[in-house]
Chains A and B, each alone.
Chain A
Amino acid sequence: MDARPRLQFHNLTLGYERHPAVHHLDGSIADGALVAVVGPNGAGKSTLFKGIVGVLKPLAGRIERSGVDPRDIAYLPQIAEIDRSFPISVYDMVAMGLWRAKGLFGGIGDRERNTVETALAAVGLTGFEGRAIGTLSGGQMQRMLFARLLLQDARVIVLDEPFNAIDAKTCSDLLMLVQRWHSEQRTVLAALHDIDFVRANFPETLLLAREPVAWGRTSEVLTAENLLKARRMCEAFDDQAEACVVAA
């Protein structure tokens, strides 16, 4: 890792109601890195991402973003967190990607309309502008959210389970966008479950099980031994847990 760090985690603990979901994470992500975050359910992947984009405040420790405002980090939330019954069109949803440029009142003019059209074309959703988001399939929904990411035009992009429950064609189309971002020297993090997919496409991996199990080159991280360890470390949320000794 020769490039200068883009994100640095210092003894970072994130969680809910004092219960840590990410525990004492140290390390850094280089500028332009393409990192897979792998771990069992409940390992803290989503929590880590919410911390990175500033949605969740750390319980302890800190995240250094080398001068980037957390609001300028593009974020793909899990689809399950989106209310798909809300009556909003694909066009409006994608245009929300211009938020940082346009804010509460900025007008959407011809130039912005063009960028929205271009983004929709890039994800293969031309012609879907007027459709309500509730009428989209899972794959189309994910394509739409990627179009919104394109509009955010961010140096750091955080993707929470971007390839879950979508078909092979959508998956490869969206992966091409991720690779394009990587070639443009953007820093990309993605939470993923498919180990073979990670081995094939992501040079660097963080294996997380609340605490970091291993972090580095994917081939060295994703060993059978480490994966087993990750599964064992991911204990359940404990109501009777005592205060953390390290933190005391």
Chain B
Amino acid sequence: MTILYAILIAPFADFEFMRRALAGTFALAFGSAPIGVFLMLRRMSLIGDAMAHAILPGAAIGFLLSGLSVFAMAGGGLIAGFIVAVGAGVIARTTELKEDASLAAFFLVSLALGVTIVSVGGTNIDLLHFLFGTVLALDNQTLLLIVSITTMSLFALALIWRPLVLESVDPNFLRSVSRAGGPAHIAFMTLVVMNLVGGFHALGTLLAVGNMMLPAVVARFWARDITMMIVIAVATAAVSGYAGLLVSYYSAIPSGPAVILVAGVLYAMSVVFGPVGGVIWHAFPGKHLEA
């Protein structure tokens, strides 16, 4: 018992930075994972990736203007995210380019621009922080920001739940009974950007989306119902956060990548063992039923 305590709990009991990191990853789990489930179900899995890179130049400009201030970087990230989301949407509607293609163009330029700005204005260490985050160095302000984003995100999701679900299943029916579809979609994209900005501080611009999409994809292998899917996604994200921090504590693996790698292991296990479409259930479905 004491050994288990020493291995599994003591690192968090003994070190404040571990507790902060755990609180941060748990908060991110509650905010990001449900968003990831909707992104996946709306066949927008890669949009999250694009948006995550798109916030980089904004955060970088915030960093140039006021150093490592959480709110300047978060504000810059939000603004850049919205510009890219709206810009890609406008270009897709006014030109022949499809939305995914215009997003790809936007986020590639954003990523290059962001890396350039950070490199010119800061050090290589700063750049590493931007790309992979600093989950072990979450200060009060950053934690507050992440928790606020999660809280807002959960309330907003409850608010737009019905139109968001119906717009995904049967968009024409929704449009025939309500005008909530458009506003719900915009609110949802806002939530995507907000959660990526939150995740950016902990996991960096390259990995923030990992805590959003991997748990969602894992959940797809275990549940047939969206509510259950979201519960599983949140649990997966929280477990990945906890286990990833432990792994990084006992090894030389940096904590951000460790969190995402644990999620990756859970994903691989789900692909093999998941009861909803997993490999084993496909290969050995058992005897067919009576009806």
Contact = CB atoms under 8 A, between A and B. Distances in A.
A136 interface: no
Contacts of A50: 172
Interface string A39-73: 00000000000100111000000000000001101
A87 B162 CA distance: 14
A75 B178 contact: no
B170 A82 contact: yes
A77 interface: yes
Given A81-B170, A81-B171, A83-B170, A88 B165 contact: yes
B224 interface: yes
A99 B224 contact: no
Contacts of A93: 169-170
Contact of B176 (A54, A86, A88, A103): A54
Interface residues of A, number: 27
Given A82-B169, A86-B41, A104 B180 contact: yes
Chain B interface mostly: helix
A73 B173 contact: no
B225 A77 contact: no
A246 to B, nearest CB: 28
B226 interface: yes
B226 A70 contact: no
B115 interface: no
A132 interface: yes
Contacts of B160: 104
Contact of B224 (A75, A82, A87, A92): A87
A71 B223 contact: no
B282 interface: no
Interface string A91-107: 01100100110011000
Interface residues of B, number: 24
A77 B170 contact: yes
B229 interface: yes
B241 interface: no
Nearest to A134: B224
Contacts of A77: 170, 172-173, 176
Nearest to B158: A105
Nearest to B163: A104
Interface in B174-221: 175-180
A75 B41 contact: no
Query: Residue among B173, B223, B226 with the most chain A CB within 10 A?
Result: B173
A89 interface: yes
A58 to B, nearest CB: 15
A71 B169 contact: no
A132 B224 contact: yes
Nearest to B169: A86
A53 B179 CA distance: 12
Given A86-B168, A88-B169, A104 B162 contact: yes
A75 B173 contact: yes
B166 interface: yes
A71 B172 CA distance: 12
Given A88-B226, A104-B162, A83 B168 contact: yes
Nearest to B166: A96
B9 interface: no
Contacts of A54: 175-176
9 contacts: A54-B176, A75-B177, A86-B226, A87-B226, A88-B165, A96-B170, A100-B177, A104-B160, A104-B180
